[in-house]
Structure 1
């Protein structure tokens, strides 16, 4: 089954929705206009609408033909990034300091397109919940929707997600049988020494020197402490110390991120990073305190659902255009919270009609490729009709 003809017929409508959302980006938990637009369209198509989960979240519920009560969830994110847009086209951001640079405008539109088609045809037997989530960009909207009772109010036996992927050719779909995206944690290390004149260093305990040793040694947590088959990243990205060129400060601070795919590796690096910092500091007569802040969990597909997703993708784009088990990404995604609660799969949809750095996610020149809107919507619709088929 290729692109669904009926969805192709309203491609122009989807393009208009997508560009309207792009022109009016809203940050996490501020998606008032976007959620109102989503809710209105769902209601116009006869889909039951619930609003308010995580503040600005929207869930549409549609029941197919027949008496099946099985339910699945399809999720799209709605929020924009806090960054200026550098594009000059007509649908560029009209909200200063906000931009859809990650394609959430396209994600929302593709799920709306599938909802419209499924509401028209109802060629399935069961229940589908269309989950429009706020605040994916670092603010944990997925976690908050769960805390607000997402799966108690809208029980799903499986849940599915999708993200556009500029590194893949347009209309190619990648599916992972396990980890897709990494857990993303933040840390700060405060090194306390004893300041003094930079020309008389022996009368001081230099926290900058200590911090430098910690930065270097921290890399061994991956290179010598992590199984080569289990990827991890420890990056110190921000160093704070001193006020002028001839004074050794009392204190230095290091900030960074840890990315992992498994919980044992995540816990081990947290424990070892604190122990390493304390030990190195003690060797110089200084002290070091770790402040470790867990962030999003890893996004890990369940293999059975991943294989289902791959089979459905093949129906839409053809077997040759499905990539099975590519390398996962060290970027993070809060769909991981949903996959902790329910089995499911998160796929990448190739975006790459454009080339070059401007196509990259989180780039001020990024724009979603409208040519793939019908592919994403057809994947969603085919998934529902395949998992929840009508009986003969």
Structure 2
């Protein structure tokens, strides 16, 4: 039997050299959250040139390209993130970052390129019916760009029936796909606790209220939350990352500041931990005669993939790439991702594609693997064509 190459793969091959050049150009010119002006302009110009209706300035520097074809009622959203990180690159690559202290250490240059590459093909062939909304998002790296786009009317202006996103994943074989139904990435909250006592001379502790001792007790007590207040089958992490106290060995300071990161995979667990940290901090401080001031801003929520959309996304990979290209035991990830805000608004799924044996994400040695541009672009084209099928089965 003669094997005929997939027409989408053949079609995308025509653009591959240009796509790699674009990805490397974006890598040379990284831009931090809400400052993606050059990147946004490139995205908007390319989408316009291919026939998309383009809206800019959504949630700051966000861009949406809309392509309508035929009279199909379905509306699909696909999202890519655009921002870089405040990290100094040490790869030594010919296309390394040209901006000191900034680099694409998470592959958003690749994600943007993949979606643009798919956009070009879909505009060329238009083998779908309905509305395609391609969302290029700023400030994923801690800036909650997804939430800001939503608050700026993203889904009112560009209604979608479902939304999908993708992230490269180091350590997974190049081009292998990973899918997780349900909680897939952790929530993240950064907590600041200030234990306030009464400072004094280290030789006369009886005249002080020592916040260092109180904070030491609190740090140990915090370890009991996951062990004793959370179901053993639910994952959670409480890490005390910084402790700031004192300036001299013979002086008891007035206060100690602790900074924590908290990660969970369920909204109710997240809430339980908030209550326990707050109560423990106050009680531990009080037991030493000190007081606790707690600042507990909410970070990104748990990213929960919807089961139907995740199964649909998985079937697209199985059908067009084969079972062997899908990782069967892809496990939830304790990192966080603001696509979670979009999945709180709409059904959808966030999937992963292996970046091969690369340095980890957020490493100064990280580089996006250009070999995954072709399969990931083909994947988005297939997902769009099937979701917006002309003759749905």
Q: Per the shorter chain, which TM-score range?
A: over 0.9
- Residue aligning to 1:167: 171
Deviation at 1:380, TM superposition (A): 0.4
How many Å separate the matches in 1 of 2:87 and 2:320? 34
- Residue aligning to 1:103: 107
- Residue aligning to 2:385: 385
3-state DSSP of counterpart to 2:368: coil
- Among 143, 153, 156, which residue is 1:152 paired with? 156
How many Å separate the matches in 1 of 2:191 and 2:340? 20
Query: 1:70-109 to 2 correspondence within 5 Å?
Result: 70-109=74-113
3-state DSSP of counterpart to 2:58: coil
The runs of at least 4 consecutive aligned structure 1 residues that moved more than 4 Å come to none
Deviation at 1:324, TM superposition (A): 4.0
- Residue aligning to 1:26: 31
- Among 242, 253, 256, which residue is 1:238 paired with? 242
Deviation at 1:319, TM superposition (A): 0.7
CA deviations 1:56-81 (Å, max 9, x no partner) are 111001122x3112101000000000
- Residue aligning to 2:41: 36
How many Å separate the matches in 2 of 1:117 and 1:293? 42
The gaps in structure 1 that reach 5 residues or longer are none
3-state DSSP of counterpart to 2:184: strand
The gaps in structure 2 that reach 5 residues or longer are none
The answer to whether the aligner puts 1:367 opposite 2:372 as a matched pair is no
- Residue aligning to 1:256: 260
Note the aligned Cα RMSD (angstroms): 1.3
Aligned length: 387
3-state DSSP of counterpart to 2:275: helix
- Residue aligning to 1:296: 300
3-state DSSP of counterpart to 2:296: strand
Range with greater deviation from structure 2 (323-332 or 224-233): 323-332
Instruction: State the TM-score, normalized to the length of structure 2.
Output: 0.96
3-state DSSP of counterpart to 1:52: strand
How many Å separate the matches in 2 of 1:185 and 1:315? 38
How many Å separate the matches in 1 of 2:120 and 2:329? 31
Instruction: State the TM-score, normalized to the length of structure 1.
Output: 0.96
How many Å separate the matches in 2 of 1:264 and 1:226? 10
How many Å separate the matches in 1 of 2:328 and 2:307? 11
Deviation at 1:277, TM superposition (A): 0.8
Query: 1:344-359 to 2 correspondence within 5 Å?
Result: 344-352=348-356, 354-355=357-358, 359=359
The answer to whether the aligner puts 1:130 opposite 2:97 as a matched pair is no
- Among 311, 315, 320, which residue is 2:324 paired with? 320
The answer to whether the 8 A contact 1:239-1:254 is kept is yes
3-state DSSP of counterpart to 2:341: helix
- Among 45, 53, 56, which residue is 2:50 paired with? 45
CA deviations 1:41-68 (Å, max 9, x no partner) are 111111111111012111001122x311
Deviation at 1:206, TM superposition (A): 1.1
How many Å separate the matches in 2 of 1:172 and 1:106? 16
- Residue aligning to 2:200: 196
Deviation at 1:199, TM superposition (A): 2.5
- Residue aligning to 1:376: 376
How many Å separate the matches in 2 of 1:391 and 1:321? 27
- Among 1, 9, 24, which residue is 1:4 paired with? 9
How many Å separate the matches in 1 of 2:166 and 2:350? 5
The answer to whether the 8 A contact 1:70-1:127 is kept is yes
CA deviations 1:184-239 (Å, max 9, x no partner) are 11111111112122223233221111101111111111111111111111111010
Deviation at 1:139, TM superposition (A): 0.4
Deviation at 1:325, TM superposition (A): 5.5
- Residue aligning to 1:220: 224
3-state DSSP of counterpart to 1:219: helix
Deviation at 1:289, TM superposition (A): 1.8
How many Å separate the matches in 2 of 1:5 and 1:299? 34
- Residue aligning to 2:63: 58
